[in-house]
Amino acid sequence: MENIHEAQQPPVSTLQNIARIALGLFLITAGIGHLSFARQEFQAQVPDWLPMSKDLVVVLSGIVEIGLGASLVFLIKHRVKVGWIAAAFFVAVFPGNISQYLGHKDGFGLDTDGRRLARLFFQPVLVAWALWSTGAWAARKLLR
């Protein structure tokens, strides 16, 4: 039986392709921000319980974001795999968003608990965006 990583690439619409490229560019921009102009702001999202330097976490996640973004834009033949990897990445960094909310840490204009709470609801949107725009969710359905 074919697994999710070997699933054929389902057809996607023009809107899905535009959304995939937009998500890729968003990730590249965020990754560059991790490495430069927003480095300190991103450190506010790193949970205190992580046993490594906050700066190292920000740099490493920035590198991953640039790689994921470039993969979303350019690795069209692997878009289903990249979609699942991007979705997993968004799930993996979600504890940072929760930590920012629970720790009342300001960053990126999230200077109230209400704004930090609202930000938490955007993470599932990113997961869905990655799965829908790459056809990953449709590929999962093809395996049934």
Q: What is the pLDDT of residue 36?
A: 94
Q: What is the pLDDT of residue 1?
A: 42
Q: What is the pLDDT along the chain (144 residues), one digit of tens a residue?
A: 445 555 578 999 999 999 999 999 999 999 999 999 999 888 888 888 899 999 999 999 999 999 999 999 999 999 999 999 999 999 999 998 898 899 888 888 888 999 999 999 999 999 999 999 999 999 987 765
What CA–CA distance (Å, rounded) separates 67 from 71?
6
Q: What is the pLDDT of residue 124?
A: 96
DSSP code per residue over 23-53: HHHHHHHHHHHHHTTTHHHHHTTS-TTSSS-
The reply to whether the predicted model has a pTM over 0.85 is yes
135: enclosing H helix or E strand: none
